[in-house]
């Protein structure tokens, strides 16, 4: 089994960044566990950047997991900017958003625009 490529960190401006290099089962399971643990403690809006710029595609398992996470009780607190430069990834992210409507997600190709959008939605 391959290792997870999940990496996450908190920026000084309170944006939580999630980066992945693949959407293997191990990476997606680690991502799901980390996001559930965080979501279960949320009581106020949070800002996240999902940096998917290294991905060439997204597994169906990852799309299903994203839909499941968006349906959780505290998902409304998550404001997420999804960074990608790949059309296939953009299409699959948008598909997950359509399947599970609601939430505060937007796809970006420019990191500065994504950060500005997050700060507009959730001021410090």
At 90, which CATH number?
3.30.750.24
Q: Which two tokens stand for residue 24?
A: 């293997």
Beta-carbon count within 10 A of 36 CB? 13
List, in order, residues 6 or more apart from 97 with CB less than 8 Å away. 70, 103, 105
The answer to whether residue 1 is domain-embedded is no
The answer to whether residue 2 is domain-embedded is no
The answer to whether residue 60 is domain-embedded is yes
Looking at the structure of the chain, the number of domains it has is 1
For residue 100, the model assigns a pLDDT of: 60
Q: Which two tokens stand for residue 62?
A: 């990852």
Environment class of residue 20 by beta-carbon count within 10 Å: exposed (0-12), middle (13-18) or buried (19+)?
Answer: buried
Query: Are 91 and 82 a contacting pair, CB within 8 Å?
Result: no
Determine the distance from the C-alpha atom of residue 74 to the mean position of all C-alpha atoms in its chain, rounded to a whole number: 14
pTM of the model: 0.90
Distance, CA of 67 to CA of 48 (rounded, Å): 16
pLDDT tens per residue across span 64-115 = 998 888 888 888 899 999 999 999 999 888 887 776 666 688 999 999 999 9
Q: Is 74 left (phi over 0), alpha (psi -120 to 50) or beta?
A: alpha
pLDDT tens per residue across span 13-53 = 999 999 999 999 999 999 999 999 999 999 999 999 999 99
The answer to whether residue 12 is domain-embedded is yes
Of 91, 122, 108, residue with least CA distance to 53: 108
For residue 103, the model assigns a pLDDT of: 63
Q: Whole domain around residue 22: which residue ranges?
A: 7-121
């Amino acid at each position: 089994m391959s290792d997870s490529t999940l990496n996450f960190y908190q920026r000084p401006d309170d944006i939580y960044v999630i980066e992945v290099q693949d959407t293997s089962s191990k990476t997606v399971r680690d991502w799901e566990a980390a996001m559930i643990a965080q979501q279960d403690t949320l009581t106020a809006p949070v800002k996240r950047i999902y940096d998917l710029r290294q991905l060439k595609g997204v597994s169906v398992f990852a799309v299903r997991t994203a839909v499941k996470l968006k349906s959780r009780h505290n998902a409304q607190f998550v404001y997420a900017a999804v960074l990608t430069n790949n059309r296939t990834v953009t299409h699959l992210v948008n598909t997950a958003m359509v399947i599970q409507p609601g939430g505060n997600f937007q796809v970006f190709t420019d990191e500065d625009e994504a950060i500005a959008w997050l700060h507009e939605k959730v001021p410090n």
